[in-house]
Amino acid sequence: MIISMTGYGRAEVSRNGLNITAEVRSVNNRFLEITTRLPRTLSRRENDFKDLVKSKLSRGSLNAVVKFERKSDSVPQLTVDTSTAKSYYNLLNQLRKAVKIRESVKLEHLLTFSEFFEGPSEEDVTDEEWGSVKETMLKALDELNVMRRNEGQELSKDLKSRINWIDSKISDIAERSKERIPQEHKRLQERIVQLLDDRRIVDQNRLELEVAILADKFDVTEECVRFNSHNKFFIEAMESSEPAGRKLGFLLQEMNREANTIGSKSNDAEISHSVVAIKEELEKIREQLQNVE
């Protein structure tokens, strides 16, 4: 199955005085890379968030932002850390004396420091609250995957059309190669005779054998058969239910290798031009595969 690594998902859940929002964005990456931005209340659950992502994605660079709010009608109560306040007061007095300032330390000076005001401690989420957070995150990931699959379908159409075009070109090359073998055999034989000048001094059986060996080196039938096999496996991998990005990348490398071999063995301008066109298509496929999970 072709799944794009680019997508966006968002979900929001409000329940029992909680308001939870999750946003996830993903782009292409060779591996699965997860970045989270969580409120302090959920910081201890970062590994749990990553496990949720791993259950839904196998590749890509994902950024997740989660907002968690407990609704409360009461005004938060602040307290004063008197020991910290006294420490600031003493430090300010030392500073005043060091720089010889006559003005005494006042309350307005202390109010520039907020460290001695303490708010209610943020409690870790309960199991019930975590269930709501998990539900929100999974909904966002599902929405993300819907977008990734839709884009993957478009990528799949493009890749199949390119592979089918390459397959037809390889078939043409195979036919052209078969036609060229007798011609190459005759051309080599004539060339050798011209070089030797006197054909009578040459062992004819040995000459025929050497010419046949040379002509066989121009035969690219085996390479075309392997290339067509790679094309077949490429399409099958695209239609598989498993993520296919890495497998398709490997098959593409093998296709490039066969194309290079065909280009180096063929002694024909028409085949060489076809190989160049095939390699251009393979490069376009490679660029597309960079965004396939």
Query: For position 222, what pLDDT does the model report?
Result: 87
Give residue-wise pLDDT tens across range 268-282. Answer: 788 899 999 999 999
Q: Which residues contact 189 (CB under 8 A, 6 or more apart)?
A: 207, 208, 211
Residue 223, H or E segment: helix 221-239
CB 120 within 8 A of CB 76: yes
Taking residue 115's Cβ as centre, other Cβ atoms within 10 Å add up to 10
What would the two tokens of residue 66 be? 């989660």
pTM: 0.67
Predicted confidence (pLDDT) at residue 74 exceeds the cutoff of 50: no
252, 253, 254, 259 alpha-carbon torsion, rounded to 10°: 90
Query: What is the CATH number that goes with domain 7-72+126-149?
Result: 3.30.230.10
Taking residue 279's Cβ as centre, other Cβ atoms within 10 Å add up to 16
pLDDT band at 231 (very low <50, low <70, confident <90, very high): very high
Separation of alpha carbons 121 and 227, rounded Å? 65
CB 176 within 8 A of CB 271: yes
| Mean pLDDT, residues 111-121 | 66
DSSP secondary-structure letter at 194?
A: H
Range in 45-49, 210-214, 282-286 with the lowest mean pLDDT: 210-214
What would the two tokens of residue 22 be? 């999750």
Predicted confidence (pLDDT) at residue 119 exceeds the cutoff of 60: no
Domain ranges of the chain: 7-72+126-149, 79-118, 151-289
Three-point CA angle 116, 126, 65, nearest 5°: 75
Q: Which residues contact 220 (CB under 8 A, 6 or more apart)?
A: 173, 174, 177, 261, 262, 265, 266, 271
CB 77 within 8 A of CB 117: no
SS3 content of the chain, % helix, strand, coil (to 5): 65, 15, 25
| Mean of pLDDT over the chain | 85
Which residue in 24, 4, 17 sits closest to 66, CA to CA? 24
CB 212 within 8 A of CB 185: yes
| Mean pLDDT, residues 252-264 | 94
CB 132 within 8 A of CB 13: yes
Q: Which residues of 83-110 are buried (b: 16+ CB within 10 A; e: fewer)?
A: eeeeebbeebeeeeeeeeeeeebeeeee
Q: Compare 183 and 39 and report the one with higher pLDDT.
A: 39
Give residue-wise pLDDT tens across range 120-165. Answer: 455 677 888 899 999 999 999 999 999 999 999 999 999 999 999 9
